[in-house]
């Protein structure tokens, strides 16, 4: 599976298409809280890659002096092929390769996919205690319906216990050796007509916060980060999920980030972006990704695709990013002389 299909934003294109096209909300347009000035340094630039693309897509680019490291996206099943039997060899190999080049490594632990639940450990899908282990997702987007996907049923306490066991095993092995560990975006679209796991928006929200707290406790020297972009069942913080997420992260020392940098897009400006502005300087780390779909958007002011400089300016100055993860297909990475 390609990096894009592992990490592209669940539902973002649909949300952007359905969002109002007029000016961003007043809350989104408001400046950051007084006392938190705009950042004065550029974010560190990282590549991101799936484990299958590391050799072909990362290695040719990682020695660039403007690249600080790599974010490696690893499916849950690749890390735990059988119950309580962990395989961290891909992470170890990538870390060894990068450390020899004085580069850093983030690991994104992937528990949701744009395909059937084949990348979630088999035992979760077959043992009745896990209620199926995953929920089907619809994966609708602005380009039309996608294939059926899946998200691990974190709202099931037994599934979440297994996921947290994985996080603890990662911490036992890599705490202090990895620069960061992050969980994927909060956006998801569970197909309620086919779900048998007992999903609700509220149970999902509470489960994700529980994983945030656990990760921050397990990783004492490696920064723990949660991607947050949209919450199912919420728009413009109308359930308080987004605000509670940022307050929770601040209180528990969890970094936050997101899977897309889309300057001033109405959908994002009515969900996570205003909170990144409001909490700038109050979180231990902000990490934003610029993924493949982001390069398809055009700047309405210029009519041209967003440039690297525009992405960095918005991600750093507006959203307060300390780190930016770039798809290896980013045009600036392949310009002659760049």
CA distances to 25, 49, 55, 289 from 98, in Å: 42, 13, 12, 20
Compute the Cα dihedral for 192, 21, 234, 12 and give only its sign: positive
Asked whether the predicted pLDDT for residue 36 surpasses 50, the reply is no
pLDDT at 3: 38
Least confident of 96-100, 144-148, 154-158, 194-198: 144-148
199, two tokens: 């999903």
In this prediction, residue 146 has a pLDDT band, given cuts at 50, 70 and 90, of low
Asked whether the predicted pLDDT for residue 5 surpasses 50, the reply is no
Task: Specify the DSSP element, H or E, that contains 325.
Answer: strand 323-327
State percent of the chain over pLDDT 90. Answer: 81
Q: Residue 51 gets which letter from DSSP?
A: G
How far, in Å, CA of 81 to CA of 122, rounded? 8
pLDDT at 145: 54
Asked whether the predicted pLDDT for residue 274 surpasses 60, the reply is yes
| CATH of region 3-329, choose from 3.20.20.80, 3.40.50.880, 3.30.360.10, 3.40.50.11540 | 3.20.20.80
Asked whether the predicted pLDDT for residue 210 surpasses 60, the reply is yes
DSSP 261-304: --TT-HHHHTTTHHHHHHTTTTSS-EEEEE-GGGGG-EETTTTE
Average pLDDT for residues 24-49, to the nearest whole number?
A: 57
Instruction: Please state the domain extents for the chain.
Output: 3-329
Q: Is 120 exposed, middle or buried (0-12, 13-18, 19+ CB in 10 A)?
A: buried
């Amino acid at each position: 599976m390609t990096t894009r299909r592992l990490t592209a934003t669940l539902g973002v294109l649909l949300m952007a298409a359905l969002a109002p096209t007029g000016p961003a909300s007043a809350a989104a347009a408001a400046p950051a809280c007084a006392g938190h000035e705009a950042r004065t340094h550029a974010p560190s630039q990282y590549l991101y890659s799936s484990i299958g693309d590391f050799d072909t897509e990362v290695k040719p680019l990682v020695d660039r002096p403007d690249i600080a490291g790599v974010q490696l996206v690893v499916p849950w099943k690749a890390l735990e092929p059988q119950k309580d039997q962990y395989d961290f060899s891909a992470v170890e190999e990538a870390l060894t390769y990068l450390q020899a080049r004085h580069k850093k490594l983030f690991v994104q632990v992937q528990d949701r996919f744009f395909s059937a639940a084949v990348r979630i450990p088999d035992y979760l899908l077959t043992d009745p205690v896990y209620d199926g282990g995953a929920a089907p997702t619809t994966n609708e987007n602005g380009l039309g319906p996608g294939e059926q996907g899946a998200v691990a049923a974190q709202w099931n306490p037994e599934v979440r216990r297994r996921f947290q066991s994985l996080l603890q095993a990662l911490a036992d092995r890599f705490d202090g050796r990895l620069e960061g560990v992050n969980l994927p975006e909060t956006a998801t679209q569970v197909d309620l007509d086919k779900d048998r796991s007992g999903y609700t928006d509220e149970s999902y929200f509470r489960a994700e916060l529980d994983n945030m707290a656990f990760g921050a406790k397990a990783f004492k020297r490696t920064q723990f980060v949660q991607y947050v972009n949209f919450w199912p069942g919420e728009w413009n913080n109308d359930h308080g999920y987004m605000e509670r997420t940022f307050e929770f992260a601040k209180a528990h020392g969890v970094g936050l980030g997101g899977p897309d940098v889309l300057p001033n897009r109405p959908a994002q400006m009515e969900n996570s972006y205003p909170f990144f502005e409001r909490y700038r300087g109050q979180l231990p780390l902000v990490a934003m990704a610029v993924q493949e779909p982001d390069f398809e958007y055009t700047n309405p002011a210029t009519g041209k695709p967003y440039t690297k400089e525009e992405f960095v300016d918005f991600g750093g100055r507006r959203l307060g990013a300390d780190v930016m993860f770039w798809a290896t297909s980013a045009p600036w990475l392949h310009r002659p002389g760049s």
